[in-house]
Amino acid sequence: MTEPWTFGVEPLGQTADAAALLRRVTGLILALEGEDDEVARLIADLERAERVLATHVPPEPQPRVGPAADGDGRLYVDHARDIGAFNPAFPEYELQVDGALASGTVTFPLVYEGPPGIVHGGFLAVFFDCVVQHHNCDVGVAGKTTSLALRFKRPAPIGVPLSFTIDRRVDGDRIRSTAAMRDGDRVVCEADVDAIAGDRTNLPAVSPRAGTP
């Protein structure tokens, strides 16, 4: 079996816990009818945390990758799979991989709303790029996305479990993935995603966390 493709360090447990909590709390704030004292306290707590955390991270924003691997920048967290598990700006999902085929489920919470009760189409594009590259990385041959085309069939509802499928094929150094998302038995969106098949031996060096070998 081909070794899964990884590039970067694993996220911290606290990072994943915070991402899920921030996503849920943001959804609650978006649904409030008016100003709330609890939100005022939350803002004050977050402002304090921001000041303190700013002293705990490297001052340079450039990631420690490639020529900058031995520099003073920040660490780079692996984006090969499950980005939503550690970054609240990305959706969470479940994915099962069976060779060239993959399938899974996703439920978009309120933070991804565009039209009333509907997932913003731009987030669907982000989602398909994430799950297709996750599929590529899990089967061990991945690379940069070169093309992403979506066809919106009907609105994708917020807060409803949606299923999706991916069919992947490789032709030389090109990877073509065809994906579809369904609400029950109705297709809501289709995607064609092209990527170039990279060579993992050409990946640049990535610095580990400070204090690790």
Tell me the three state secondary structure of residue 29: helix
State residue 198's pLDDT score. Answer: 87
Query: What is the C-alpha to C-alpha distance for residues 119 and 114, in angstroms, rounded to an integer?
Result: 5
pLDDT at residue 80 is higher than 60: yes
Share of the chain above pLDDT 90, in %: 88
State residue 212's pLDDT score. Answer: 62
Query: What is the C-alpha to C-alpha distance for residues 190 and 123, in angstroms, rounded to an integer?
Result: 13
Q: What is the pLDDT of residues 19-57, one digit of tens each?
A: 999 999 999 999 999 999 999 999 999 999 999 999 999
Task: Please state the rounded mean pLDDT for residues 92-112.
Answer: 97
**Tokens representing residue 92 in the block:** 């969470």
Please name the residue that has the structure tokens 């994906």. 179
Mean model confidence pLDDT for the chain: 94
Task: Please state the rounded mean pLDDT for residues 139-165.
Answer: 96
Q: Alpha carbon of 55 to those of 9, 48, 52, 107: distances in Å?
A: 21, 12, 6, 36
State residue 186's pLDDT score. Answer: 97
State the pTM of this model: 0.92
Label residue 109 by pLDDT band (50, 70, 90): very high
- The residues of the chain that CATH labels 3.10.129.10 are 91-203
Give domain 91-203's CATH number out of 3.10.129.10, 3.20.20.450, 3.60.150.10, 3.40.50.300: 3.10.129.10
Among the listed residues 204, 203, 185, 4, the one whose alpha carbon sits nearest the alpha carbon of residue 97: 4
Answer yes or no: are the C-beta atoms of 206 and 64 closer than 8 Å.
yes
Query: What is the C-alpha to C-alpha distance for residues 118 and 2, in angstroms, rounded to an integer?
Result: 38
Share of the chain above pLDDT 70, in %: 99
State residue 210's pLDDT score. Answer: 83
State residue 213's pLDDT score. Answer: 55
Q: What is the pLDDT of residues 157-203, one digit of tens each?
A: 999 999 999 999 999 999 999 999 999 999 999 999 999 998 888 88
State residue 153's pLDDT score. Answer: 97
